Structure 1
Amino acid sequence: MAAPKIHKTNAMRRLDELGIPYEILRYDNEDGQVHGTAVADKIGLAPESVFKTLVAHAGSSGYVFVIPVGEELDLKKAARAAGVKKIEMLPLKDLQPWTGYVRGGCSPIGMKKHFPTFIAAAGEELQHVAVSAGKIGLQVKLAPQHLASAAQAVFADLIH
């Protein structure tokens, strides 16, 4: 039996527009586990190559940070990368209004509005990374340089 048709997300449409090659990785979310290490297990990739998307703010300015799922964002390093004095995580209630995405399905590609975006430097050396495709249950796997291009991101020191 063929897999159900995948409806393109904003992230996939943006990658297609840019001509960036990617692989769609699908995972079952019936158990409700959307945290990164569970997703990495479900798609069969090492947690070091599966990245989560975190949204933070400094006042009314938003910033996006893409880091390996097993790591924690260092807010001081994040603020330094963003060129601001202090940065805080965006409250969950604001995630969808700001990005168009929900928790567990937030992609650094194809947000409603572009925010300055930073990818953990550790990702730059990898052959490929996986990030949310913009919907819970879907990831896109692509070269880190292609991710940076699609998200208009730069690599930076972001984790503890």
Structure 2
Amino acid sequence: MKQKEEKTNVMRILDREKVPYTAHFYEGAGGPEGDREYGLHVAQAMGQDAARVFKTLAARGASGGVYVYEVPVAESLDLKKAARAVGEKSVELLPLAQLNAVTGYVRGGCSPVGMKKQYPVVFDASAAELDRVYISAGRIGAQVEVSAPELLALLRAQTADITAR
């Protein structure tokens, strides 16, 4: 674990909105491996249950709208369920080349808090059963632990069964 780091934009937004959080820092190990492996590395590096650590995925619907999905790091997004959750015919994950332009974040450091625009956010239904969740603090190597109900309220997020099981 790294020592105290400077605040990220995500942390500043949570402070401004008076949403308590605990910052966690870890050695970032982004790389060519898949999202699942990277997310599991993050959970392991922080000593946390992977079911509480959520990864942020951005997708574009058939209508052209952008949607943000939060799924546990050990799970995969089911695109059909994801589309149904937002009333779209279909959704496709944003190409990596578009991620920064659309969200303001890079792969491995994407957070539902503080994107360039407030896109609709859908958390996997499992988040509603948790008291606290971990999400990216907006850069590789930083996570925030936050109350699940408070985070869902801040983001005006909905929950739905969106993982491939």
* TM-score normalized with structure 2 length: 0.90
How far apart are 1:40 and its partner, in Å?
0.2
TM-score, normalised to structure 1's length? Answer: 0.93
Q: Which residue of 1 aligns with 2:137?
A: 133
Are 1:9 and 1:133, in contact at CA under 8 Å, matched by a contact in 2? yes
Change (3 A) 1:96 1:8: same
Letter in 2 for 1:124: A
2: CA distance, partners of 1:143 / 1:157 = 20
Give aligned pairs, total.
157
**Segment drifting more, 11-20 vs 64-73:** 11-20
Coordinate RMSD, CA, aligned = 1.5
Contact 1:53-1:107 at 8 Å conserved across structures:
yes
4+ residue segments displaced more than 3 Å: 31-34
- Pick from 55, 74, 80: which aligns with 2:78? 74
Q: 1:150 corresponds to which letter in structure 2? A: L
Rounded Cα–Cα distance in structure 2 between residues aligned with 1:103 and 1:130: 16
Contact 2:80 2:90 in 1 (8 A): yes
CA contact (8 A) 1:10 1:111 kept: no
Task: Point out where structure 1 has 5 or more consecutive residues left out of the alignment.
Answer: none
CA displacement at 1:127 relative to structure 2: 1.9
Q: Which runs of 5+ in 2 are unaligned?
A: none
Moved more, 142-151 or 74-83: 142-151
Note the C-alpha offset of 1:126. Answer: 1.1
Among the aligned pairs, what percent are the same residue? Answer: 46
Equivalent position of 2:14 in the other structure: 15
Amino acid at match of 1:113: K
